[in-house]
Structure 1
Amino acid sequence: MRLPPPSSPRHFIPKVSVPEAKGNSLQFPRVLPIGLSRLSTYAELTKPELTGLSALTSVFAYVLAADSQATWLTAAMVGSGTLLVGGGAGALNQLIERRFDAMMKRTEHRPLPSGRVRALETGAFGVLLALAGALLLWIEAGPLPSFISLLTLALYLGIYTPLKRKTWLNTVFGTIPGALPALIGWTAAETTPSAGGWFLFLFLVIWQFPHFFSLAWMYRKDYERAGYHMLSVQDTENAHQTHRINLLSTLSLLPVVSIFFYYESTGPMAIAAAVSLTLWFVSISAKPIVRGLTNTSTTRTINADSRNLFFASLLYLPLVMILGLVSRA
């Protein structure tokens, strides 16, 4: 008697990995337990690197604004709430862009394109995370940080995400939700952000230009394949526009970081250290410009310089944050 096929996609026959013989030994594949594998898939949906950085930014802003009144509990709750809302935004972003993620080598193995999770499941997960994060912020930090977190979500999904397929200015608009976690943390300590909070917000807006433009250059072929309107796709082969914007952005950080540290009353030594860090960041962004002026620029150096600037941006931001905290201790 033939058995009927399963009536629900939830009923499936698990795949069994058979060890391969190599020489006189058997090679057993490393397999995660089902529970850990599922948790890992959900973690991928949250874009942990991006959301983790946003959470750290909110905690940094809260500790600076609250100063001696800061508590470990509130700092942890502010960071957790920001992490949850950011994770929800990441999951919903992947839901919206799942068809295009499948076209890019960098993202084709994400949970949705690889079939490890369903669209409905991703949507429910993203909404629940975002609501949980906003509720946590409301309870522990107040309505304003909670509102800013939901505003961040709305701008990220409603403005930045669709603009990626229309104009390279999507990055400009995307810097706003990217910098708002600073105001989440700041308003957890102050009802209205002071000048220091707004300068921190401006600092993060500017920092994102070299960070994301260098990343976009590294993956420009991927973005072009998926139909994204990024500056790197429209730029010339020598990345003239990209390099120029990156240099102008890092130079713009000099007055902003100086004023920010001045407002936070950290003293001349801290200001000098922050300016020195920023000058180092400027020097990294200036390298491709110098190569272009001296006719020593090649495809290899352009790609290498973009990669170096991207990793320099990842180092520069936490160093500035650490400096701000240490100088206030």
Structure 2
Amino acid sequence: MWRNSATLGFYSKLLSPSSSTNPNYFNYASAFSIFSQIGIVEPALSPSYHRFYCSSEAPSPSPSSESVIKLGFLAYKSDVFRPLSSKARDAVHLVRHYGQCYWELSKARLSMLVVATSGTGYVLGSGNAVDLVGLCCTCAGTMMVAASANSLNQVLEINNDAKMKRTKQRPLPSGRITIPHAVTWATSVGSAGTALLACKANMLAAGLAASNLVLYAFVYTPLKQIHPVNTWVGAIVGAIPPLLGWAAASGQISLNGLILPAALYFWQIPHFMALAYLCRDDYAAGGYRMFSLTDPSGQRTAAVAFRNCLYLIPLGFIAYDWGVASGWFCVESSLITLAISAAAFSFYRDRTTQKAKRMFNASLLYLPVFMSGLLFHRLCDDQQCLADNPDRIVELSSSSQDVIDSGEDDQKKKVRHFTAGPQARPPVAYASIAPFPFLPVPSYVDP
């Protein structure tokens, strides 16, 4: 009790009127300045309080001691928690800064496209049932390896990126992150992705991922400054992820699994030729030896793009003939391939920036439609077996009919004759018809 009374008595002395011009301001300011030394109140007044205490008009009534104590308690809390909030803001800013740098180093949108092709390959190679955990692990491992490859690509091209308008603001040329930091990030995330694929998928998928990382970072990247063949090497890099997904799901590489990689390979040529034509000045400033730089008229660039679009046309029929997809996919694939071929032919006839942009946009639309159609119309193992042996159902029903009535052999043969269609040939045997001596000979003899 005596402490409270003494405190209130001390407050009353501080708040007593004075002979100054503005007694309220003098006494209140004195109280705030005295208590600020012991950490009870803030030394600085807010603008509203400052106007209130500095008013030279009629003096305001003195506040109660309870309000002064309450203000002092709130100020004490703000003094205590201010360092914590400052540290939290610094931590959030640091996380946001490096998160943005890692996002740009990884070329996250391009890496997500790589993950989509790998996931499509995994689903196609899974057969009847898709292992969702295996699919997620494969996509995560592919994402990390792709991020590592893109980061190493920027480390090796830092001087070239600094000369190009569209790349000079990347983390390394702009100085937002150091080279050792970027190398450490790329090494750690690449090793983690390869290890994840080795543990959760198989060593074949991990080997394909590691090989693709080396091919992209240490072969394709320096080759961009040496020879225009880098475009075709880069197309191989883009064709490996769907093959990786197929290998992760099936544990092997077969001809059926090469359909989507072939589509990725041929698709990348017109896609990049359009981009190289549109950005040829920027590539020249960066010191990159692209195919479009040796073709001032653009005629050869457009011809290469159109030719590779034509290579895409038979892929839909091959997917149907090999039992990977249904006949509807053959129709849909032919339509979208004719559409991108028409855009490429238009660019070949009239080599303008507008036609190049149209072909580039057509290539952006082609790939998701092709992969979506392949997933939607894919055939599982049971459907492939029935497609390869269309008379299997008839044989099962006829065997049960023999148990009931053994005197209907002739009728059974007639039914089997009309229901049995042409048997689908296995992929290896189909390809062996072509002059490829390294493929095995078909295991059957056509009549």
TM range (shorter): 0.7 to 0.9
1:60 to 108, 113, 120: 120
Does the Cα contact within 8 Å between 2:326 and 2:378 map onto a contact in 1? no
2:366 to 306, 310, 316: 316
Name the residue aligned to 2:377: 327
The alignment status of 1:275 with 2:334, answered yes or no, reads: yes
Question: Match of 1:270, SS?
Answer: helix
Deviation at 1:289, TM superposition (A): 2.1
Question: Match of 1:107, SS?
Answer: coil
Q: Supply the distance in 2 between the matched residues of 1:261 and 1:163 (Cα, whole angstroms).
A: 37
1:118 to 178, 181, 196: 178
Deviation at 1:33, TM superposition (A): 3.8
RMSD: 1.4
Name the residue aligned to 2:319: 260
Name the residue aligned to 1:217: 277
Name the residue aligned to 1:303: 353
Does the Cα contact within 8 Å between 2:150 and 2:217 map onto a contact in 1? no
Q: Which amino acid aligns with 1:202?
A: A
Name the residue aligned to 1:72: 132
Q: Is the radius of gyration larger for structure 1 or structure 2?
A: 2
Deviation at 1:150, TM superposition (A): 0.4
Does the Cα contact within 8 Å between 1:89 and 1:130 map onto a contact in 2? yes
Query: Which 5+ residue runs of structure 1 have no aligned equivalent?
Result: 1-31, 292-296
Q: Supply the distance in 2 between the matched residues of 1:248 and 1:140 (Cα, whole angstroms).
A: 40
Name the residue aligned to 1:248: 307
1:192 to 249, 252, 262: 252
2:210 to 139, 146, 150: 150
Q: Supply the distance in 2 between the matched residues of 1:183 and 1:170 (Cα, whole angstroms).
A: 21
Question: Match of 2:250, SS?
Answer: coil
- Residues 1:108 and 1:286: Cα distance change in structure 2 (over 3 Å): same
Name the residue aligned to 1:10: none
Question: Match of 2:310, SS?
Answer: helix
Query: Which 5+ residue runs of structure 2 have no aligned equivalent?
Result: 1-91, 380-447
Q: Supply the distance in 1 between the matched residues of 2:365 and 2:111 (Cα, whole angstroms).
A: 16
Question: Match of 1:69, SS?
Answer: coil
The alignment status of 1:129 with 2:189, answered yes or no, reads: yes
Question: Match of 1:328, SS?
Answer: coil
Deviation at 1:318, TM superposition (A): 0.8
Name the count of aligned residue pairs: 288
Which 10-residue stretch deviates more, 117-126 or 213-222? 213-222
1:255-282: CA deviation from partner (whole Å, max 9, x where unpaired):
1332134324422222101111111111
Q: Which amino acid aligns with 2:299?
A: H
Give the TM-score normalised by structure 2.
0.63
Does the Cα contact within 8 Å between 1:244 and 1:289 map onto a contact in 2? yes
Q: Supply the distance in 1 between the matched residues of 2:137 and 2:320 (Cα, whole angstroms).
A: 26
Name the residue aligned to 1:18: none
Deviation at 1:90, TM superposition (A): 0.4
Q: Supply the distance in 2 between the matched residues of 1:273 and 1:147 (Cα, whole angstroms).
A: 34
Q: Supply the distance in 2 between the matched residues of 1:129 and 1:264 (Cα, whole angstroms).
A: 37
Deviation at 1:156, TM superposition (A): 0.6
Name the residue aligned to 1:284: 343
Which 10-residue stretch deviates more, 174-183 or 116-125? 174-183
Deviation at 1:74, TM superposition (A): 1.0
Name the residue aligned to 1:239: 298
Question: Match of 2:168, SS?
Answer: coil
Q: Supply the distance in 1 between the matched residues of 2:179 and 2:320 (Cα, whole angstroms).
A: 45
